[in-house]
Structure 1
């Protein structure tokens, strides 16, 4: 009988502990709700007025870390190839502008425009190497998708984290999870395309482009058998015009062009190719290719100008 009574007492104590935890959790949520109500109250007869103290240095550091983390995620997802200095500069600019807006006290709808329009745009343009309008719109949408995803996950885990270091550790883990989920969705939808930055070198000149690694580009030179990568015609002409304005293009430094036949879904034809000195492919490190062949496309290879070069299939496993 004594053993049964002790066991019942233990069960009762566990049940009481459980209900106490539930009560504390509910009371905590009620307290937050009451604070929210009181924060919107104003001075008057029989009314409450709540006062907040804001430490601008802590606010700046917190937003700097979160903005930089968001830019790191977008840089990985969009493959912008931005360096750490630019990412942290963008995070610092976004956090600084937000603190400035709070100190100045921008009213009403102008606050919404300033924080979500001007600050976000300046942060993206500064922190990421965005070159086109379409890429900016995509980055802007993904910025808020990632922020909502991270905010929801961190809010869910916040009651279980007693130390602020664990809170920010959860933010880093959530950012990593967002990148993995994005890649998985892209793979499931069949839209995963490997893009990277490529730098072309010839005759003491350098051209940096965004490249698409395409399994369908099997073009090879019939004479040497070397693979041929396709460069956008309009981008190449704009580069030449810029070089001419700077006075760096001479007749004897122009690449020697020749024609080779090609076959595609749309039909057959000939394409101009030339050989350059070297090519650097920046993907999981720098990979150098000596004396590759480059072909000039007849038209635009990307309607949205998301890439300017189509790498040959043979370069996928370099």
Structure 2
């Protein structure tokens, strides 16, 4: 099975490594159904070198360039499954509608070229930021109402997929990511006068995301919009104070709240059931 991962960064690189080493569980099978030929892209020369040193087939690619004229178009367009994990960066899009519009246009062009025109299945890595903070219990059926530029951009890309590719795609909305080099103890350590002390935490571990993506491919879970978050949701004040203490860092300081608000709490029970997935890290406290 040919799989191309567009975005070989913090999530894409270990995902590519995991899929690359998979073999069929039945050693005498001639079909090798779970064996993947993986290609992964990155922007910088150093990232390409790093991916290659990890034994991966790495290709340079900049979002916005056309794959139709790319020197490696034959490899990058010949796919059974395409995984797109190219985050825009909240700072890049913040208060910049023009950059947001360009990001959406570039992503839609990429989706058209690699998936729609090539009849390849698509896994699009989206974000739980498409949900409004005004909601409390959020399920996969909850209405989207993003309040950030990044959230609005992802909503627009999701809409494009649903209009043009829904039966052949799976949209996966991720909560805040935790894992190697992303220790939650560093997220808010030492910061002062923070709001939202009572808002609940929605996090998901890198390894659980990788497991979910593999479940989508193996289980042919297409035509779905799913989301992932740990099943436990401590408050921001409680959790980030504890996480900072675990690293011996200064605890964050939260302002008092006259009316505590829980904020959104992502309930991923349907997604976990649909994927037959048991989280390795069901609580944020398990992630350290």
Q: TM-score range by the shorter chain?
A: under 0.3
Q: TM-score, normalised by structure 2?
A: 0.27
Higher relative contact order (CA 8 A, sep 6+): 2
Structure richer in helix, relative to its length: 1
